Amino acid sequence: MKIAFFDSGVGGLNVLYDALKLLPNEQYIYYADSINAPYGTKSNEEIKKLVFEAVDFLAHENIKALVVACNTATSVTVKALREKYSFPIIGMEPAIKPALKNNNNKKTLVCATEKTLKEEKLKALIQNLNGENKVVELSLQELVVYAENFEFNEPHILQYLKKCFVNIKWKEFDSLVLGCTHFYYFTKQLRGILPRHIRILDGNFGTVKHLKNSIIETDTNQKTKIEFFISGEKAASSHFEKYFDFIKKNQ
């Protein structure tokens, strides 16, 4: 049986990359709804329709677990998905808890899509961690489009980031949380413009650990196989492998 990864586009490849290291004997399906990306600017109704269409498709592919490797889709749909399907469904959660741990009474900047920042799921997480006065939220929505276009080092991206951060008083902060899987691709650029004391955290590895604990692992050594789909159509691996190469080079 296969493990399915779903994302609005290529962001979830970061999570799959970690899964390939932690669970090397599994077979995978990666479903990118790239034709309909980005999700962060869509209504809840649009997102639910798209996600359920994708997961209905994946449910017929003999899967033993699903990773919703998209913070926006997780925020809007994960509860309803778990009510409908019997296989384990693992969603993304911004790494706010580790960010607030040992934070020296400093603040955490949570960067996500516009939709994720508006959803009750994130607000509830912050409230449960007593982080109302310790967490500041910021949209970096445009990074999703840059990632989908394989744009990472262009000057306009640094200009965009600097503009977004212009009002952030970094002395008050000690960490930045990447609340969108697409944002991981820009870690190097972020590291270049953020003060050295700012930690950059993401929820990727925690998600994969949760996946590992939720399944019965394949106990035979076999060559890993990944099937790729774009919005329901079989896709060439070459489109995705260049992102794996980028991740490997920039880790």
As annotated, the active-site residues are 70, 180
Among 183, 203, 223, which residue terminates a domain? 203
Q: How many CB atoms lie within 10 A of CB 33?
A: 23
Q: Based on the fold, state whether residues 140 and 177 are members of the same structural domain.
A: yes
Note the pLDDT tens digit of each residue in 219-231.
888 888 999 999 9
- Whole-number Å distance between alpha carbons of 40 and 138: 13
Q: What's the total number of domains in the chain?
A: 2
Among 203, 221, 237, which residue terminates a domain? 203
- Pairing verdict, β 2-7 and 27-32: parallel
Region 153-163: mean pLDDT is 96
152 touches 175 (CB < 8 A): no
Q: Based on the fold, state whether residues 86 and 209 are members of the same structural domain.
A: yes
Q: Which CATH number belongs to the domain containing residue 116 in this structure?
A: 3.40.50.1860
List the single range of 129-133, 171-175, 218-222, 231-235 with lowest mean pLDDT.
218-222
- Whole-number Å distance between alpha carbons of 186 and 113: 14
Q: Based on the fold, state whether residues 133 and 182 are members of the same structural domain.
A: yes
For residue 222 the two structure tokens come to 């076999």
Q: Is the peptide bond before 38 cis (omega within 30 degrees of 0)?
A: yes
107 touches 137 (CB < 8 A): no
Q: Based on the fold, state whether residues 174 and 115 are members of the same structural domain.
A: yes
Task: Check: pTM over 0.85? Answer yes or no.
Answer: yes
Q: Based on the fold, state whether residues 199 and 221 are members of the same structural domain.
A: no
Q: Based on the fold, state whether residues 230 and 151 are members of the same structural domain.
A: no
Q: Based on the fold, state whether residues 9 and 53 are members of the same structural domain.
A: yes
- Whole-number Å distance between alpha carbons of 134 and 173: 9
Q: Based on the fold, state whether residues 75 and 151 are members of the same structural domain.
A: no
Note the pLDDT tens digit of each residue in 67-89.
999 999 999 999 999 999 999 99
At residue 222, the pLDDT reads 82
Q: Based on the fold, state whether residues 144 and 170 are members of the same structural domain.
A: yes
Note the pLDDT tens digit of each residue in 88-111.
999 999 999 999 998 889 999 999
Note the pLDDT tens digit of each residue in 20-51.
999 999 999 999 999 999 999 999 999 999 99
Write out the residue range of the structural domain in which residue 62 sits.
2-92+205-250
Q: Based on the fold, state whether residues 183 and 225 are members of the same structural domain.
A: no
Q: Based on the fold, state whether residues 209 and 126 are members of the same structural domain.
A: no
Q: Based on the fold, state whether residues 10 and 85 are members of the same structural domain.
A: yes
Note the pLDDT tens digit of each residue in 199-210.
999 999 999 999
